[in-house]
Amino acid sequence: MKMTTNRRRLLTGTAALVALGLSFGAAGAADKITLRLSTPATETDQRAVALATVFGPAVADFATYEPHYNASLFKQGTELEAIARGNLEMSIASAQELATIFPEFSIFTAGYLHRDAEHQKKVFAADFMDPLKKKVEDELGVKLLSVMYLGRRQLNLRIDKEIKTPADLAGVKLRMPGSDAWQFLGKALGASPVPVAFTEIYTALQTGAIDGQDNPLPTNRDSKFYEVTKQIVLTSHLVDLNYVAFSKKVWDGLTPEQQATVQKAADDAAESGRQKQLALEAELEQFFKDKGLKVYTPDVDAFRTHVQKAYLESDFAKTWPEGMVDKINAL
């Protein structure tokens, strides 16, 4: 949870550039700009599909949308820094990545906090988000345009053992992405978290370097994790989100009409992706059963109690704005 020297330097440097109004290379209104997006997601991931089919065409009059999938342009977790440094225009950022720079974002990484996709939307639109969004804009030069629904994260294991409560996960090597907030979620679930990049999960499962991973059902299908695992435990421990992250410098180079178009395009893409992802989540359970996996619901109350207690007692909770958990729950 400590901010590294590099991150402190990045923030100081970026804040200075933002303050001086120096350009990261946004083109003038007359030129067509290129909006490169880097993500570890696959091309068939519904967030990727929505951005390619809804966002891209909507901004085509003045911008060329250029997505790069499978972390082929920037490594998972380095995209925000790339935008801040002017080397990238867009990403699908997680709250966990933001929390490495702004610890208060860890509130959105807590298990069993967001209730569902609609709740995520309400939280993102709430007044109490404004100071957080402004901080990311002012200090990192990144605009959070919209919230995307990734889905309910479920345990997906290559071992046979039946998992009913957190105690059953003791010693289970559970892959989580490589940041403190993600690793903490793995611990809070009762497992032994192991950091592995998204693009390396399949091989890690295949070779037995890890016992399992957690992701929403659509991701498990897209990335074919069912080929190398035996069961899915429906813990729904995190209703996961991502933000459409956009370079503030590029944004500032757009006309007000273009800005409105970009904002609407991001909101429309997020909504389209959300509806498709929800529909997939509802139908995929049968898909995995047909592939021979066991799919079952554990004692979710036991997981909820264990995870919520771990978060409330953690150092993360000390960084959360006063009263924000109650405000989120009240929405």
- Cα–Cα distance measured from residue 167 to residue 214, given in angstroms and rounded to the nearest whole number: 17
Q: How far is the CB of 195 from ligand KDO (least distance, A)?
A: 10
Which of 150, 157 has the CB closer to ligand KDO? 150
Q: Tokens for 188? A: 């809070």
Which DSSP state fits 8?
H
Residue 40 found at the interface with ligand KDO (CB under 6 A): yes
Residues 181-200 that bind ligand KDO (CB under 6 A): 198
Tell me the C-alpha to C-alpha distance, in Å, between residue 229 and each of 88, 190, 215, 232, 241.
35, 20, 13, 8, 24
Q: Does 41 bind ligand KDO (CB under 6 A)?
A: yes
Choice between 185 and 293, CB closer to ligand KDO:
185
Is the CB of 177 or the CB of 253 nearer to ligand KDO?
A: 177
Site for ligand KDO in 246-265 (CB under 6 A): none
Q: No. of H helices and E strands in the chain?
A: 15, 9
> Taking contact as CB under 6 A, which single stretch among the options 39-47, 106-114, 185-193, 297-305 is the one that binds ligand KDO?
39-47
Instruction: Select 156 or 231, whichever has its Cβ closest to ligand KDO.
Output: 156
Going by C-beta distance under 8 Å and a sequence separation of 6 or more, which residues neighbour residue 115?
239
Burial 161-171 (b: 16+ CB within 10 A, else e): eebeebebbee
Three-class secondary structure of residue 36 per DSSP: strand
Site for ligand KDO contains 177 (CB under 6 A): yes
Q: Tell the smallest beta-carbon distance from residue 49 to ligand KDO (Å).
A: 12
Applying CB under 6 A, does 45 fall inside the site for ligand KDO?
Answer: yes
Quick check: 219 binds ligand KDO (CB under 6 A)? yes
Q: How many CB atoms lie within 10 A of CB 17?
A: 17
- Distance, in Å, from the CA atom of 53 to the CA atom of 146, rounded to the nearest integer, reads 16
Distance in Å, CB of 199 to ligand KDO, minimum: 9
Taking the complex as a whole, the smallest distance from the CB of residue 61 to ligand KDO amounts, in Å, to 28
Q: State whether residue 66 is helix, strand or coil.
A: strand
Residue 39 engages ligand KDO in binding (rule: CB under 6 A): yes
- d(CA 176, CA 71) in angstroms, rounded, equals 16
Q: Which is nearer to ligand KDO, 198 or 246 (CB)?
A: 198
Name the minimum Å distance from CB 40 to ligand KDO: 4
Give the footprint of ligand KDO on this chain (CB under 6 A). Answer: 39-41, 45, 92, 94, 150, 177, 198, 215, 219, 242
